[in-house]
Amino acid sequence: MQPIDVLKRTIGVNFSEEGTVTVKVWSPQAETVQLEVKVKDQVETISLTKERYGYWSATSNKITNGSRYKIKIDDKQSFPDPASLSQPNGVHGDSEAINLAAFQWRETAWNNIPLEDYIIYELHTGTFTPEGTFAAIENRLDYLKELGITAVELMPVAQFPGNRNWGYDGVFPFAVQNSYGGAKDLQRLVDACHQKGLAVVLDVVYNHLGPEGNYLGEFGSYFTSKYNTPWGNAVNFDDAWCDGVRHYFIENALMWLRDFRIDALRLDAVHAIKDFSPVHILKEIKLHVDELMRVTARKHYLIVELDLNDTKFIQPVNQCGYGMNAQWIDEFHHALRVTTGNEKTGYYSDFSGIEHLAKAYKDAYVYDGQWSPHRHKFFGVKADEAEGKQFIVFSQNHDQVGNRMLGERTSELVSFEMQKAMAAAVVLSPYIPLLFMGEEWREPHPFQYFISHTDEALCAAVRKGRKEEFAAFHLEGEAPDPVAVETFDNSKLQWHLIEEDKHKQMLSYYKMLLSLRKSHPVLKNLNRKNLSVNPLVESNALILLRWQESHYVLCLMNFSNEERQIKLMKASEWNIALDSASRQWGGSGESTIEENSVVLRPESTLILTNK
């Protein structure tokens, strides 16, 4: 492995404590590399000196905080810096030199919370508030705290083209989106979260870059044709000249954790990362993050989106794993969706409903070695040794909502009562729960796919691709135009709804549910072993029993649209902790508890405790 200083960023333009500015660019096949910096309306050229392994460097006093610059390769066209920290005029404009170390942190004692205490709230900066900025999120932190959230997850903020994008089309991994407020405002937001006792998770994308403004290939072999991916050539993690690319992304992960004090990174779709190196790039990132934690005494987590059902990603490094702390498991979501009436099409065709939901509670992976009809192969491995805190579950997220043709949220797909039952199914699991912004008040606005590329040909290609993707759904209408401002505006949350009727009741229900999760000794302990689950297939109901020492929690879930009688010896001796059918939460009336049975209301969840 190439040595990396975990305590400071070494690539790009950086300010030292001594007041000097260093420049380091990776361009292994270049003959000359020059930095063109604008000084008082004039462009001054700084020639870089070639070093080992394809790097070029210089030290200069011509660069100050706020200087605009570009990099010229072989006396040809000039491009923005691949390691730029700021793109104030977008992806095609000049890079801006900024000093991340100049930020004055107010919360200096913060040191993350235990992973098992994470209750995650995923949000998109541009649509979470009317303003669509980091500063505007700050104004909502008290709301999130009162809701019961402990960790705020930001969808990707790396610079993307235009002002409207999910963030997965980012092309400057080190630069914070200018329209959101840039690097300083992100640091301010993280600082504010820590002052409120909230952890911050940042979504990062290491499996591809977007198409517009992607100039990395002009500098070196950042991509390889060795592998095909849904986005074209793969990021080069194991082909010729891969060391500079690996260094680039390791430095990126360290920057977010060290300079922005992000608590956890969520690495997008790591199954799409192609790497057959002796040390996988994820493992190498983990080793450097471990070293960062050792020298700073700050705790950080690495969370992956993964659909391989392969425990080597979350196994410790000393057990030949990659050492990721946790992973998203879509299979819990899929089983829950089918249980609640979702059509069994596409990847949902692999799921039986209530039986597979029960298996997800018990085994985490639904497919852990058996035949997958949708994939036409045996799929997955057992996850028996993994802890509950290593899995993140949800009833909706940006993908599961936004990748629908019309971007409908759960609020538009299931009844009021069923959404409460789905929320309980997630929160009562022995895993880390994740909420998607607005679900807690039953936001009716969709979350649709939107872009604002400046390349008209690219916009046309994206429109065409979306139409072709959903051609089979033409009877449901046309896919929204991803380029239209209206598509973006229609995806924004409507905050005024939290004071209105059913929305207010749903919000109160979520608060109570999360409060119970955080306070009860059984529910806040993510012990997968102390659990039994019984699916009642004919009734489309489920009995989940969890315990911790002498404390027991019995969760009775009815996903059918009819009342269900559940036999339960000495039922009357249990205490009701929460009944989703209660009129307090907008339901039709409480469940009935008899001496040896319980009658559950349709589409409801009853939580009972022994103490």
Q: Which amino acid is at 341?
A: G
Mean pLDDT (whole number) for 105-132: 97
**Residue-wise pLDDT tens digits, 542-572:** 999 999 999 999 999 999 999 999 999 898 8
Please calculate the CA angle 412-406-461 and round it to the nearest 5 degrees. Answer: 165
Is 61 assigned to a binding site? no
Look at residue 191 and tell me whether its pLDDT is greater than 70: yes
List the domain boundaries for the chain.
120-515, 529-609
Rounded to an integer, what distance in angstroms lies between the CA atom of residue 503 and that of residue 482? 28
* Predicted local distance difference test score (pLDDT) of residue 466: 83
Range 167-180 burial, b when 16+ CB lie within 10 A, else e: bbbbbbbbbbbbbb
* Predicted local distance difference test score (pLDDT) of residue 20: 87
Is 334 assigned to a binding site? yes
Rounded to an integer, what is the distance from CA 513 to the centroid of its chain?
22
Is 402 assigned to a binding site? yes
Name all contacts of 238-243 with Cβ < 8 Å and 24+ positions apart. Answer: 238/274, 238/275, 238/276, 238/277, 241/28, 241/29, 241/54, 242/277, 243/2, 243/53
**Residue-wise pLDDT tens digits, 421-461:** 999 999 999 999 999 999 999 999 999 999 999 888 899 88
Mean pLDDT (whole number) for 464-492: 83
529-609 matches 120-515 in CATH topology? no
**Residue-wise pLDDT tens digits, 313-327:** 999 999 999 999 999
Is 269 assigned to a binding site? yes
Instruction: Give the residue among 399, 597, 571, 415 at the shortest CA–CA distance from 506.
Output: 415
Look at the alpha carbons of 21, 66, 210, 252 in this order and tell me if their dihedral is positive or negative.
positive
Token pair for residue 13?
């333009």
* Predicted local distance difference test score (pLDDT) of residue 475: 53
Look at residue 477 and tell me whether its pLDDT is greater than 80: no
Mean pLDDT (whole number) for 485-500: 97
* Predicted local distance difference test score (pLDDT) of residue 470: 80
Rounded to an integer, what distance in angstroms lies between the CA atom of residue 30 and that of residue 14? 22
Is 596 assigned to a binding site? no
Name the pLDDT band for 288 (thresholds 50, 70, 90): very high
Task: Say whether 548 sits in a helix, a strand or coil.
Answer: strand
* Predicted local distance difference test score (pLDDT) of residue 346: 86
Least confident of 60-64, 97-101, 204-208, 251-255: 60-64
Token pair for residue 591?
């469940």
Look at residue 188 and tell me whether its pLDDT is greater than 70: yes
Token pair for residue 95?
């890079």
* Predicted local distance difference test score (pLDDT) of residue 231: 87
Class of domain 529-609: mainly beta
Whose structure tokens read 């069994």? 344
Is 268 assigned to a binding site? yes
Task: Say whether 264 sits in a helix, a strand or coil.
Answer: strand
φ, ψ of residue 24 to 5 degrees: the values are -140, 125
* Predicted local distance difference test score (pLDDT) of residue 473: 57
Name, in order, each residue with C-beta under 8 angstroms of 318's C-beta and a sequence gap of 6 or more.
none
3-state SS string over 147-189? HCCCEEEECCCEECCCCCCCCCCCCEEEEECHHHCHHHHHHHH
Rounded to a whole number of angstroms, the distance between the first and last alpha carbons of the chain is 54
**Residue-wise pLDDT tens digits, 392-421:** 999 999 999 998 999 999 999 999 999 999
Look at the alpha carbons of 508, 262, 389, 541 in this order and tell me if their dihedral is positive or negative.
positive
Rounded to an integer, what distance in angstroms lies between the CA atom of residue 96 and that of residue 88? 7
Is 401 assigned to a binding site? yes
Name the pLDDT band for 362 (thresholds 50, 70, 90): very high
Q: Which of 12-26, 37-51, 242-256, 345-359 has the highest mean pLDDT?
A: 242-256
**DSSP codes joined into one string, 89-141:** T-TTS-EE---GGG---S--S-----GGG--EEEE-HHHHSSS-SHHHHHTTH
φ, ψ of residue 402 to 5 degrees: the values are -70, -20
Is 330 assigned to a binding site? yes
Rounded to an integer, what distance in angstroms lies between the CA atom of residue 236 and that of residue 221? 7
Is 306 assigned to a binding site? no
Is 271 assigned to a binding site? yes
**Residue-wise pLDDT tens digits, 600-610:** 999 999 999 99
Is 267 assigned to a binding site? yes
Q: Quick check: 219 and 209 in contact, CB under 8 A?
A: no
Please calculate the CA angle 455-456-459 and round it to the nearest 5 degrees. Answer: 90
Average pLDDT, the chain: 95
* Predicted local distance difference test score (pLDDT) of residue 228: 86
**Residue-wise pLDDT tens digits, 500-531:** 999 999 999 999 999 999 999 999 999 999 99
Mean pLDDT (whole number) for 475-482: 80
* Predicted local distance difference test score (pLDDT) of residue 472: 61
Rounded to an integer, what distance in angstroms lies between the CA atom of residue 398 and that of residue 125? 12
Look at residue 467 and tell me whether its pLDDT is greater than 60: yes
Helix (H) or strand (E) holding 212: none
**Residues marked as catalytic:** 268, 305
**Percentage of the residues of the chain whose pLDDT score is greater than 70:** 99
Q: Quick check: 581 and 599 in contact, CB under 8 A?
A: no
Is 332 assigned to a binding site? yes
* Predicted local distance difference test score (pLDDT) of residue 229: 86
Look at residue 474 and tell me whether its pLDDT is greater than 60: no
* Predicted local distance difference test score (pLDDT) of residue 468: 78
Instruction: Give the residue among 128, 275, 272, 119 at the shortest CA–CA distance from 197.
Output: 119
Question: What CATH topology corresponds to 120-515?
Answer: TIM Barrel (3.20.20)
